[in-house]
Chain A
């Protein structure tokens, strides 16, 4: 009985470890000259529905704080700091979008867009929105899989 539970746990643990090993850590992401990231951060296909949720949710990506996305008309109050994302999947390749979402400043130097997959190199980093100090490395704003999900959703934003 005990052994059965034990081995079940072990299997679960090793499965977790195996997939964790394929995750590219923020510091290991390879950006091309213009900021594109060719390699998937997880090796798993992104889930566009999950990505849509991440983008429209305040506590997650909150991309709508700065971007209008017409397809997301169920999400109120979309911001106008960055360009509308309609047609993003036509304008950019998957690798380029992955690079923009992971660290937009590699594609657009000095961009106001936050770096969603970066953990060090901040000035006065804080613990979330508490105003209190935090030690680097910080947890990235989005996980590797969330980035893949967001990229999958962005790829669906095409003009007919």
Chain B
């Protein structure tokens, strides 16, 4: 109640000062990549968020006009350099079985289309929810006889970006029911738990205060439809779990490890909060 009225006040104030005009949206600008791929950055919230959020926004909407512009052209987007490197790795044989990714999956443009949009996803054989990183490492160790990559190594994150790119412009649509449900519930609990000496939950910042400034940072909804993200701040491609780790650390808490069951559950939950937003990868943020 209090939060809602505060939010309305702030929205009104923002409209007055910026003269934004349109009642909805954080920006009037539309995200169109290379002048052709239209990306949905604002959508009605999925049903499971009823009472929490009405509208969901990509983090792109909260960035400055300059940062937003970098993502509109793949020649300007430094994230694409990592994608190009991953494209070479895709075709490179590695491991005892003498195979590359291409040996089994041919052209990623065909075989990987739509994959990012539904991950994390329940894996029936393994009886677990898997992230893209887990699936990639499973292919490497089991099918290629190659070594697993570190969960947030640049090579891994670059490969995730190459695969994610093939779903660009497709709406995120992760399943939260059936066998994935208990993992999703666990992730939801983590999202609302106030951790660390600052006792802050993800929801404190990204649900109750998106659109507000916290010191110099303009808070977004903390959506992950744009991941992997190229950050101007650290000049590299960043994995979802690296971002989670940073945000948890900032509450003065003991973090979870990238790839841990907790972060996998949290990823499924956070991804589901973005059901309806388009995959943007690789996106650009500050």
Q: Is B99 an interface residue (CB 8 A)?
A: no
A126 is contacted by which of B208, B209, B249 (Cβ under 8 Å)? B249
Considering the chains assembled together, what is the distance between the CA atoms of A132 and B214 in angstroms?
A: 24
Considering the chains assembled together, what is the distance between the CA atoms of A62 and B214 in angstroms?
A: 11
Q: Which of B26-34, B251-259, B267-275, B276-284 contacts A (4 or more CB under 8 A)?
A: B251-259
Does A114 lie within 8 Å of B197, measured CB to CB?
A: yes
Does A77 lie within 8 Å of B216, measured CB to CB?
A: yes
Does B212 lie within 8 Å of A126, measured CB to CB?
A: no
Max chain A Cβ within 10 angstroms of own Cβ: one of B204, B209, B212, B215: B215
Q: Is A122 an interface residue (CB 8 A)?
A: yes
A112 is contacted by which of B196, B200, B215, B253 (Cβ under 8 Å)? B200
- A79 proximity list for chain B (CB < 8 A): 212-215
**Interface 1/0 per residue, A67-98 and B, CB below 8 Å:** 00000000011111100000000000000000
Q: Is B243 an interface residue (CB 8 A)?
A: no
Q: Which of A5-13, A14-22, A25-33, A133-141 contacts B (4 or more CB under 8 A)?
A: A133-141
- A66 proximity list for chain B (CB < 8 A): 214
Known: A126-B255, A129-B252. A81 touches B199 (CB 8 A): no
Considering the chains assembled together, what is the distance between the CA atoms of A126 and B247 in angstroms?
A: 13
- B251 proximity list for chain A (CB < 8 A): 126
What total of chain A residues lie within 8 Å of the partner, measured CB to CB? Answer: 28
A134 is contacted by which of B209, B245, B249, B254 (Cβ under 8 Å)? B254
Q: Is B248 an interface residue (CB 8 A)?
A: yes
**Interface 1/0 per residue, B191-233 and A, CB below 8 Å:** 0011111111000100011001111100000000000000000
CB B190 to nearest CB in A, in angstroms, measures: 10
Does A80 lie within 8 Å of B193, measured CB to CB?
A: no
Does A125 lie within 8 Å of B208, measured CB to CB?
A: no
A133 is contacted by which of B194, B248, B250, B254 (Cβ under 8 Å)? B254
**Interface 1/0 per residue, B152-194 and A, CB below 8 Å:** 0000000000000000000000000000000000000000011
Q: Is A65 an interface residue (CB 8 A)?
A: yes
- A107 proximity list for chain B (CB < 8 A): none
B196 is contacted by which of A76, A80, A125 (Cβ under 8 Å)? A125
Does B10 lie within 8 Å of A80, measured CB to CB?
A: yes
- A48 proximity list for chain B (CB < 8 A): none
Does A123 lie within 8 Å of B200, measured CB to CB?
A: no
Considering the chains assembled together, what is the distance between the CA atoms of A141 and B200 in angstroms?
A: 14
Residue of B nearest to A114 (CB): B198
CB A109 to nearest CB in B, in angstroms, measures: 11
Does B200 lie within 8 Å of A132, measured CB to CB?
A: no
CB B193 to nearest CB in A, in angstroms, measures: 6
Considering the chains assembled together, what is the distance between the CA atoms of A130 and B249 in angstroms?
A: 7
CB B148 to nearest CB in A, in angstroms, measures: 23
Does A81 lie within 8 Å of B209, measured CB to CB?
A: yes
Considering the chains assembled together, what is the distance between the CA atoms of A122 and B245 in angstroms?
A: 18
Considering the chains assembled together, what is the distance between the CA atoms of A21 and B115 in angstroms?
A: 64
Considering the chains assembled together, what is the distance between the CA atoms of A133 and B254 in angstroms?
A: 5
- A55 proximity list for chain B (CB < 8 A): none
Binding site for B on A (CB under 8 A): 58, 62, 64-66, 76-81, 112, 114-115, 122-126, 128-134, 138, 141
* A and B contact pairs by CB, cutoff 8 A, 6 listed: A81-B214, A112-B204, A114-B199, A131-B248, A131-B254, A134-B254
Name the 10 nearest CB pairs between A and B, nearest first.
Answer: A77-B216, A131-B249, A133-B254, A131-B255, A65-B215, A126-B253, A124-B253, A126-B254, A124-B254, A114-B198
